[in-house]
Amino acid sequence: MTRFIADWVVPLAVEVAAFEPTNWYGLAAIFFGGFITLVTSSIAAWATLRARKETSALTEQITNGHKNLFRDDFDSLVRALNEVRDDLRQERTDRRRDVKELRQDIDRRFSELNRRLG
């Protein structure tokens, strides 16, 4: 890289600094260089402004005017899901207990019927 700078960049910079137009063609070259610089910087500025607008729109979508933090909303959702899970577990326990009571009742009735018949 150092060799490239020494061989190409430094001599080019010296030639550009020493360039003094002696006719209209030289002046046109300076204007053309300025025009290219202006166009290039304008394109870069336009791209930067466009990127800022897109970032701003994305920020508005993410923020969305919520007063609560996403983490708080997520934690409340997890708590609600845990409550539902606990309720389902309790329901399953109650159902199994009821089924057990029904089986005992049926067994008792069949044994009583069997005792009467037999």
pLDDT digits (tens, 9 = 90+) for 18-52: 567 777 877 788 888 889 999 999 999 999 888 88
Q: Which tokens sit at 41?
A: 């910087």
Please indicate, yes or no, whether the overall pTM of this predicted structure exceeds 0.75.
no
Q: Which amino acid is at 32?
A: F
User: How far is Cα 60 from Cα 74, in angstroms, rounded to an integer?
Assistant: 20
Backbone angles phi, psi at 96, to 5 degrees: -65, -40
Q: Which tokens sit at 22?
A: 């002696």
Q: Which tokens sit at 10?
A: 């430094």
pLDDT in tens, the chain (118 residues): 566 656 665 565 556 655 677 778 777 888 888 899 999 999 999 998 888 877 776 666 665 566 777 788 889 999 999 999 999 999 999 999 999 999 999 999 999 998 888 7
User: Are 21 and 27 in contact, with CB atoms under 8 Å apart?
Assistant: yes
Give the distance between the most distant pair of CA atoms in the chain.
133
Residue that the structure tokens 């700078």 belong to:
5
